[in-house]
Amino acid sequence: MIKFVTALLLAATLALSPVAASAADVKIGVVNTRELLNSSAEWKRVQDNIKRKMEDLGRPLEKRREDIGRQMQEFEKQASVMKEEARQRKQEEIQQKVRDLQKQAMEADKTMAQLEEREKGPILKKLQTAVETVAREENLDLVLDSSIVFLNNKSMDITEKVKRHFR
């Protein structure tokens, strides 16, 4: 999705540049990719899978975070009556648990990013192919995402045409 949006932003920049503005015969289409994705059953299924996986990964992390929080509160209550050496050991133990939790959270984030790329990638590629197909069929020089431009001329909207190819 990032590549797709980046390409669209680049295209918008080129389209709005003085050189492109002087070309009167440039044909531009606009597509609402967000609408297309949100109306896709496949996209919704992937979103649900990702949400479920995120919850599965998050539950044990949240449990550990709460456990560490309780340990820190207990330590704070007992710290004043503990010997210096015991206090330092306990503090280092809690700090190590916090570092381990942060490491696990980073690994979970990495896993989620990989899952999103793996799951969303084929759908986004399919959408990109649909946009390219319509652009060729309509002889469009440039296709922009409606999230980055204001569309005053509704005849430029190719969302419905792309939708037919996207299904």
In this predicted structure, the answer to whether residue 9 has a pLDDT above a threshold of 50 is: no
Q: What domains does the chain contain, in order, with CATH numbers?
A: 2-166 (3.30.910.20)
pLDDT in tens, 52-106: 999 999 999 999 999 999 999 998 888 888 888 988 999 999 999 999 999 999 9
Look at residue 145 and give its three-state secondary structure: strand
Which token pair is 163? 């939708």
Helix 159-166 to helix 84-137 angle (10° resolution) is 100
Q: How far apart are the first and last CA of the chain?
A: 18
pLDDT in tens, 136-154: 999 999 999 988 877 777 8
- Does this model's pTM top 0.75? My answer is no
Helix 84-137 to helix 2-16 angle (10° resolution) is 60
Q: How many Cβ atoms from other residues are within 10 Å of residue 148's Cβ?
A: 13
Picking from 27-36, 105-114, 142-151, which range would have the lowest pLDDT averaged per residue? Answer: 142-151
